[in-house]
Amino acid sequence: MNVQKLNEAIEIVKRDLGASLLATDIFTTADGTSIAGHNSQAKACALFNELTNNLVTSLDTSGFPGLNEYYMLHLKDGHLVVVLYLIQYQWGFLVDSNKIKLGLLLNIVIPNAREAFIEALDI
């Protein structure tokens, strides 16, 4: 893992999301510990790590296809949580959906972030 490239990946997301980005963390799936972030939220890392683990297990045991690249949750007050999933690592964003178009998030921000994430992790 290249920590400098992780930080560069975060800068790409900060640039792409601008004022809509409220917080972001890259964390380990093993224990939910944040390894890089902006307005880091340790409790959110632990919460979404547990949620992801439950989601992966539930999908696997239910006969549904497994979790792929990411999932999103639409929360109250126009907040969105996006979690990029790369098995050993995850990257969560808290976004104000009132300040960004969904098409931009899905077609530009997430692919750019995922590419930078993979490069930083040397996968």
Structure token pair of residue 9: 């990946």
Which sign, positive or negative, has the C-alpha torsion 51, 58, 29, 99? negative
Q: What is the pLDDT of residue 123?
A: 61
Tens-digit pLDDT string for the chain (123 aa): 888 888 999 999 999 999 999 999 999 999 999 999 999 999 999 999 999 999 999 999 999 999 999 999 999 999 999 999 998 999 999 999 999 999 999 999 999 999 999 988 876
Helix 3-17 crosses helix 110-121 at what angle (to 10 degrees)? 170
d(C-alpha 37, C-alpha 25), whole Å: 4
Q: How far is CA 82 from the centre of its chain?
A: 5
Per DSSP, what are the bridge partners of residue 90?
Answer: 27, 85
Tell me the whole-structure pTM to 2 decimals.
0.92
Return all residues near 97 (Cβ < 8 A) that are at least 6 apart. 20, 74, 78, 79, 80
Per-domain residue ranges of the chain? 3-121
Query: Between the CA of residue 113 and those of 11, 59, 60, 100, what are the distances in Å?
Result: 10, 25, 26, 16
**Secondary structure letter of residue 123 according to DSSP:** -
Q: CATH second-level architecture of 3-121?
A: 2-Layer Sandwich (3.30)
